[in-house]
């Protein structure tokens, strides 16, 4: 089966969801949805053995050939790993959601349609080899995330959070598109593989640094790096399955994926390494520090996710160092990429289970406020066990998988001492220190999360609901993930061979020919080395600080909200909305006069400018027709009638004068040999005057006081401008013809080919019949509009209020 | 609008028919000599308006019991059907056809599919003009 | 003749625009009527006012000093459309007067303040 087609399976399945929900409402729609990720997961899993050997799959579907845009599905170690995460975690989350979302009360069709759209989009992001389609899927993940966060759209916070995430991630996406375009200009191709092949030449290009920064903006906004992370905590308004899936396991890792995927292109740059590693590490310590400020269970998890994403990001930054060292595979620098991917897998397992537990606590107690919770250990033993496993893994304790990747993280940071370029020989020491500080806070908030929820004193009076253990179906997914957390600790090298090494080979293709060459062995124990002492220090200091947490946690409240990034976002939104409003208020006055003045002035301006610039104004005196006495008389009548309108006191006079103008025009048509026009104009003028009078007949004294128009200089100026412009246009249009008139053709063919004698009529019904068809359509529309205005009156029905 | 002018009413009875005949003539003549669907339609409409001026709306409605909205729709349908018919003969949209026939009474006559299209235009013009005037006139 | 016509056209446009900028709704509608007259004459003048016979040909006669048929066809379309638009405006004004009791554009101004 074509890989490209597989990407679209979830979105196609989404088409049937509303039908299933309506017709088979008694069966929870989630059961049908579950089939999709489960089937995809098992299919993609069969590709694992050959990808392990270094094999890749490509399949292409041309979309817009003229612009060279195609859907290209490219499956190598990195994209297969993400694909398995998306489908695997997806299946578990759908299973969990079946018990989390009530089939009677919730709008399941909306939920699952959005979720399936997201699944397709995410598969597209990680499998696309084509930059433009990658961008397309990237924005589609933002949109589906927006829809899912706003799933409970009646809540203010949900809408706010949805909009915030949308604004920030779409901003980043647009920047990224700019980066992609620059890349394609530099490399002459949209294919990522082809760009990687010419990476050294790209680095010499002037646009290189711009492309780099723009692409990183996209990755940082999506992966919630400092200072763009502020959308993620607000995104926690989404239903918990969504938070577990999008905002922890998959979508926020799209930025990680992008950085990993483009590492071969950009790693040669010093800026890349400093930015990715620096921003990542700073995000890690910043978010872990502020996680302890949170009172909401999901808020803690959101900050912890930001922090862990920063950790992975920094590892990818350090992994770029391997590009600058000879025989990097022989040094400790090789660990960074492996640690990044390994921790990514581990994070998906333990954070997924923790989110699901937070959802269970919310579901079974009715609150997520950690101050009200406590002592649930005995009431919810299974949940507690899962939460403990997840938290201790996050804290980096053995025997859980988090310990292994955390150790390797410290190893990678320490490995920077072997690197002496880009002034790293001076600054390298900062990296392990910051990493260590961040790890200490990670340790504290992990314990804070689990013990303040499940240990301590139970406060049943604070809880909206009687707390009890969750139904078995809801526990399947978190228990499964928790089991993986433990299992991976014992078989890390199996995971390494299957999943991590193929991905590492894709990130560092210049280092390794095939995944087997990645010479890294994961061990829980590797002697008394620096990493071990650092870890012991984390446990000791972290434990001590957690013990005294109640004494110093209040310090967080001293941090003023006024200077927070959230405040900055709010101010910017307010400013842009209000500013746009004020700006448009300047010229949108509500007077039709103002708008007409804009239009007429602008039209006069551009027409005169064009006449001037193209030197078009010429008068050709040779081709004039002689002036006749009848014409002059009629024109005098016409001008006289026009002046009468301008000077008239009563409206009736004006209307009759308008009729006079019309009849004069009809006479002019007669003189200039246009019998059809003269006839039509005469009849129309008669009917129009009748219509004007009819409309007035019904108006009882339109206003008692009728007066002459007051002279207004501004209006006169605009009118004079338009009049002069039109005179000039008429003169120049008559005096020069760029092309010979098509009339000659009409005269030749009208009798022989069109079978008619009256050229005007034949033009109307034959040569240009299309115009006439649309014209009578416009007539019909005008008629309908008039009927509507007169017959349909929804307001002002005496004594009736139709709106009620 | 209620008038009771005997002179006007008597004259109208005659003039209306003259205008109507002229309108029909002009409509049919349109392809070869001045005239056509637009003018024909407008003249027809003006004849009916004249009736309305001389008598009053309910009376005219009784004399000419036509739903003008339907008339407009029929006109549009005829126009678009004529235009589309050419597709059936595998020629581009809006291709007209004509030929000359010897008909009894008329002699050699040209029958032209453009005439059908013009008929559509005629009906639309009559329909819309009368719709406008009638709706405004009826509104109290 | 074309020169004189051009000046007349300019005059028509000027009067039309001046009327359209006024405050009274009925004057605005009269202005649009004048504007379309001006536009029709402009089309006619652009094509040239020459030609001694109307653009109607008989069997086999293709040579002759006909007036330009193209502007005439355009004008015919324009006349009918401007009739439809004028009646639409007229009914709009009529209804606006019925509902709001004024035809002064200054009073018809939407004053909703939205923040």
pTM: 0.71
A684 CB neighbours in chain C (<8 A) are 79-80, 83
Estimate the crossing angle of helix C2-20 against helix A592-613, to 10 degrees.
150
The answer, yes or no, to whether residue B105 has pLDDT greater than 90, is no
**Does ipTM surpass 0.90 in this model?**
yes
C5 CB neighbours in chain A (<8 A) are 635, 730
Q: Are B95 and A747 in contact (CB under 8 A)?
A: no
What is the pLDDT confidence band of residue B108, given thresholds at 50, 70 and 90?
low
Mean pLDDT of A473-492: 92
For chain B, the residues whose C-beta falls within 8 A of a C-beta of chain C are 32-34, 38, 125, 128-129, 132, 135-136
Chains near A (3 or more Cβ pairs under 8 Å): B, C
The sign of the torsion formed by the CA atoms of A242, A245, A249, A252 equals: negative
Low-confidence stretches of chain C (pLDDT beneath 50): 114-115
What pLDDT, on a 0 to 100 scale, did the predictor assign at position C115?
A: 39
Q: Which residues pair with A64 in a beta bridge?
A: A69
Is the CB of C70 inside 8 Å of chain A's CB atoms?
A: yes
User: Is the bond into A108 cis (omega within 30 degrees of 0)?
Assistant: no
A-facing residues of B in 52-111 (CB < 8 A) are: 53, 69, 72-73, 75-76, 79-80, 83, 94, 96, 98, 110
Binary contact (A651, C26; C-beta < 8 A): yes
DSSP-derived 3-state class of residue B64: coil
Lowest-confidence region among A555-559, A674-678, B108-112: B108-112
Nearest to B136 among C76, C83, C91 (CB): C91
User: Which of A225, A241, A231 has its CA nearest to residue A281?
Assistant: A225
A784 CB neighbours in chain B (<8 A) are 69
Q: Which tokens sit at A739?
A: 């092309």
> What are the residue ranges spanned by the domains of chain A?
267-547, 557-585, 592-738, 741-804
Q: Is residue B1 part of a domain?
A: no
User: Which of C37, C32, C4, C2 has its CA nearest to residue C18?
Assistant: C32
Q: Is residue B22 part of a domain?
A: yes
DSSP-derived 3-state class of residue A89: helix
Q: Supply the range of the domain harboring residue B41.
A: 6-138
The answer, yes or no, to whether residue A797 has pLDDT greater than 60, is no
Nearest to C77 among A695, A771, A796 (CB): A771
User: Considering only alpha carbons, which residue of chain A is nearest residue C32?
Assistant: A658
Nearest to A691 among B43, B94, B132 (CB): B132
- Give the DSSP letter string of A256-295: HHHHHHHHHHHTT-HHHHHHHHHHHHHHHHHHHHHHTT--
pLDDT in tens, A699-755: 655 555 566 677 788 889 999 999 999 999 988 888 877 778 788 888 888 877 777
Q: Are A215 and A262 in contact (CB under 8 A)?
A: yes
Q: Is residue B80 part of a domain?
A: yes
Residue B31 distance to chain A (closest CA, Å)? 5
C87 CB neighbours in chain B (<8 A) are 132
The overall average pLDDT reported for chain B is 84
Binary contact (A780, B135; C-beta < 8 A): no
Is the CB of A790 inside 8 Å of chain B's CB atoms?
A: yes
Kindly compute the dihedral angle of the four CA atoms of residues A577, A582, A585, A587, in this order, to the nearest 10 degrees: -110
pLDDT in tens, C29-59: 999 999 999 999 999 988 888 777 888 876 6
Nearest to C56 among B33, B128, B132 (CB): B33
Binary contact (C84, B128; C-beta < 8 A): yes
Binary contact (A702, C97; C-beta < 8 A): yes
Work out how many domains chain B is built from and give that number: 1
What pLDDT, on a 0 to 100 scale, did the predictor assign at position A322?
A: 82
Interface-testing mutation among B49, B80, B121, with chain A (most A C-beta atoms within 10 A)? B121
């Amino acid at each position: 089966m074509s890989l490209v087609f597989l990407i679209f399976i979830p979105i196609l399945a989404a088409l049937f969801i509303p039908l299933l929900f309506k017709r088979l409402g008694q069966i929870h729609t989630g059961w049908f949805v579950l089939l999709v990720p489960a089937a995809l997961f098992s299919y993609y899993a069969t590709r694992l053995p050959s990808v392990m050997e270094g094999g890749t799959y490509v399949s292409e579907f041309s979309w817009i050939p003229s612009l060279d845009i195609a859907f290209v599905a490219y499956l190598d170690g990195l994209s297969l790993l993400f694909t398995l995460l998306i489908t695997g975690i997806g299946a578990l989350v759908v299973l969990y959601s079946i018990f989390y979302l009530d089939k009677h009360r919730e709008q399941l069709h909306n939920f699952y349609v959005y979720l399936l759209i997201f699944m397709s989009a995410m598969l597209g992001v990680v499998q696309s080899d084509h930059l433009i389609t990658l961008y397309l899927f990237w924005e589609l993940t933002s949109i589906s995330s927006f829809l899912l966060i706003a799933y409970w759209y009646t809540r203010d916070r949900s809408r706010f959070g949805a909009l915030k995430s949308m604004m920030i991630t779409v901003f980043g996406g647009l920047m990224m598109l700019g980066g992609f375009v620059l890349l394609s200009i530099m490399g002459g191709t949209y294919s990522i593989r082809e760009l990687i092949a010419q990476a050294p030449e790209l680095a010499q290009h002037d646009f290189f640094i711009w492309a780099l920064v723009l692409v990183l903006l996209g990755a940082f906004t999506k992966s919630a790096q400092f200072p763009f992370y502020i959308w993620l905590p607000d995104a926690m308004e989404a239903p918990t399955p969504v938070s577990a899936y999008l905002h922890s396991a998959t979508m926020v890792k799209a930025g990680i994926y992008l950085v990993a995927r483009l590492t071969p292109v950009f790693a040669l740059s010093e800026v890349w390494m400093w930015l990715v590693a620096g921003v990542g590490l700073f995000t890690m310590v910043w978010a872990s520090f502020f996680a302890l400020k949170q009172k909401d269970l999901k808020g803690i998890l959101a900050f912890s996710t930001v922090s862990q994403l920063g950790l992975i990001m920094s590892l990818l930054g350090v992994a770029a160092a391997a590009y600058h060292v000879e025989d990097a595979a022989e040094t400790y620098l090789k660990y960074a990429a492996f640690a990044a991917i390994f921790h990514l897998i581990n994070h998906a397992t333990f954070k997924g289970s923790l989110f699901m537990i937070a959802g269970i606590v919310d579901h079974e107690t009715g609150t997520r406020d950690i101050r009200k919770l406590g002592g649930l250990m005995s009431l919810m033993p299974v949940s507690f066990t899962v939460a403990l496993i997840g938290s201790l893994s996050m804290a980096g304790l053995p025997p859980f998988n988090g310990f292994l990747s955390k150790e390797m993280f410290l190893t990678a940071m320490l490995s920077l001492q072997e690197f002496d370029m880009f002034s790293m020989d001076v600054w390298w020491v900062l990296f392990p220190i910051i990493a260590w500080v961040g790890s200490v806070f990670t340790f504290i908030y992990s314990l804070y999360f689990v013990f303040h929820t499940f240990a301590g004193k139970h406060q049943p009076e604070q809880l909206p609901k009687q707390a009890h253990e969750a139904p078995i179906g809801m526990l399947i997914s978190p228990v499964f993930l928790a089991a993986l957390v433990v299992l991976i600790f014992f078989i890390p090298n199996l995971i390494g061979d299957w999943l991590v090494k193929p991905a590492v080979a894709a990130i560092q293709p210049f280092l390794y020919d095939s995944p087997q060459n990645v010479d890294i062995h994961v061990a829980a124990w590797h002697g008394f080395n620096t990493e071990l002492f650092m870890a012991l220090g984390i446990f000791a200091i972290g434990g001590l600080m957690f013990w005294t947490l109640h004494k110093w946690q209040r310090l967080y409240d001293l941090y003023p909200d006024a200077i927070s990034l959230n405040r900055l976002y709010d101010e910017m939104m307010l400013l842009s909305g209000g500013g746009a409003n004020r700006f448009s208020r300047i010229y949108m006055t509500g007077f039709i006069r103002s708008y007409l003045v804009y239009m007429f002035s602008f039209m006069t301006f551009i027409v005169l400018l064009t006449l001037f610039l193209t030197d078009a104004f010429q008068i050709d005196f040779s081709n004039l027709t002689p002036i006749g006495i009848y014409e002059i008389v009629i024109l005098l009548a016409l001008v006289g009638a026009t002046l009468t309108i301008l000077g008239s006191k009563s409206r009736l006079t004006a209307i009759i004068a308008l009729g006079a103008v019309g009849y004069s025009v009809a006479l002019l048509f007669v003189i200039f040999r246009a019998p059809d026009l003269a006839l039509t104009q005469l009849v129309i003028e008669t009917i129009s005057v009748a219509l004007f009078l009819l409309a007035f007949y019904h108006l009882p004294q339109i206003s008692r006081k009728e007066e002459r128009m007051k002279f207004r200089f501004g209006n006169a100026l605009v009118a004079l401008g338009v009049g002069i412009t039109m005179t000039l246009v008429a003169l120049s249009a008559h005096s020069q013809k760029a092309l010979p008139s098509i009339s000659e053709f009409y005269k030749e063919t009208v009798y022989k080919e069109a079978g008619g004698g009256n050229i005007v009529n034949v033009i109307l019904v034959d040569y240009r019949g299309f115009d006439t068809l649309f014209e009578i359509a416009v007539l019909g529309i005008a008629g309908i509009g008039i009927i509507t205005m007169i017959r349909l009156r929804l307001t002002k029905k005496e004594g009736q209020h139709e709106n009620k | 609008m209620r008038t009771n002018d005997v002179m006007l009413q008597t004259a109208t009875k005659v003039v209306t028919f003259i205008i109507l005949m002229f309108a029909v003539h002009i409509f049919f003549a349109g392809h070869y000599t001045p005239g056509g669907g637009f003018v024909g339609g407008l003249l027809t409409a003006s004849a009916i308006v004249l009736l309305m001026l001389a008598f009053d709306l309910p009376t005219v409605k009784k004399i000419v019991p036509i739903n003008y909205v339907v008339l407009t729709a029929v006109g549009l349908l005829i126009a678009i059907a004529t235009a589309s018919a050419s597709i059936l003969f595998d020629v581009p949209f809006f291709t007209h056809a004509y030929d000359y026939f010897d008909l009894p009474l008329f002699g050699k006559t040209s029958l032209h599919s453009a005439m059908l299209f013009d008929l559509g235009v005629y009906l639309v013009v009559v329909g819309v003009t009368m719709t406008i005037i009638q709706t405004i006139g009826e509104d109290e | 003749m074309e020169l004189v016509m051009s000046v007349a056209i300019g005059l028509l446009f000027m009067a039309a625009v001046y009327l359209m900028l006024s405050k009274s709704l009925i004057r605005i509608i009269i202005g649009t009527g004048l504007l379309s007259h001006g536009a029709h004459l402009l089309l006619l003048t652009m094509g040239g006012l020459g030609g001694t016979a109307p653009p109607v040909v008989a069997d086999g006669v293709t040579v002759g000093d006909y007036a330009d048929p193209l502007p005439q066809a355009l004008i015919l379309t324009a006349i009918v459309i401007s009739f439809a638009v004028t009646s639409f405006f007229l009914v709009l004004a009529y209804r606006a007067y019925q509902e709001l009791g004024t035809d002064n554009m200054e009073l018809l101004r939407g004053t909703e303040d939205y923040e």
